[in-house]
Structure 1
Amino acid sequence: MTYSARLANSYFGEWELYIIVEGHADDWPVHSYGRTSPTPTLAERTAALAGLGYEATDGAAWEWMEMDNEDGEAVEFRGSFEVRPIGEAP
């Protein structure tokens, strides 16, 4: 089974990586980077995924989306990536 991993700024402005799974968002696996910048590197994201027990699916690539802020403030970016539990067959 595959899931979507997301990299985004939390409500506190710090980067976090979370896996969208069944159930309530409070129960999703999450890794906080504890910083607002710089954006976590690919190596940091890969290590965080492994720490949560997930790995990239075959051919997965990060996709980035710009989130417009209605009141004219800075835009936010969110990345998503397809993952699976470590060791699960494709």
Structure 2
Amino acid sequence: MMPTAQMSSRGGPWRLYVALMGATEWPDFRWERPTPVPTITERRAALATLGFEQVPGSQWSWIEDTVTHGDDASPVLLIATVDVRELTGGAS
């Protein structure tokens, strides 16, 4: 199963992390700003820092959720996902 990178924000800083099955900690990167949304170039650089790259041909997809599950008045949580793979040699 291929790992997935996810990027999320609750209106504050953006966090990008790689969801690794069976791992106790996931590699992550933060942009300490609420706007603008990190560019694809910034995401690519952050993934490389973590030892991963976007799978060729895959695209970021976005979903919207609520901070409080089932509460439509709750603040929105934005989540983006993309398939990734380890860079040759892995994280440094």
TM (norm. structure 1) is 0.82
RMSD: 2.1
For residues 48 and 72 of structure 2, what CA distance do their matches in structure 1 show?
A: 37
1:17 matched to which residue of 2?
Answer: 16
For residues 23 and 75 of structure 1, what CA distance do their matches in structure 2 show?
A: 28
Q: Which runs of 4+ in 1 moved over 4 A?
A: none
Deviation at 1:42, TM superposition (A): 0.6
Identity of aligned residues (%): 34
Structure 2 unaligned spans of 5+ = none
Structure 1 unaligned spans of 5+ = none
Count matched residues.
Answer: 85
Give, as a single letter, the amino acid of the residue that structure 1 aligns with 2:79. Answer: R
Q: Judge conservation of contact 1:30–1:52 (CA < 8 Å) in 2.
A: yes
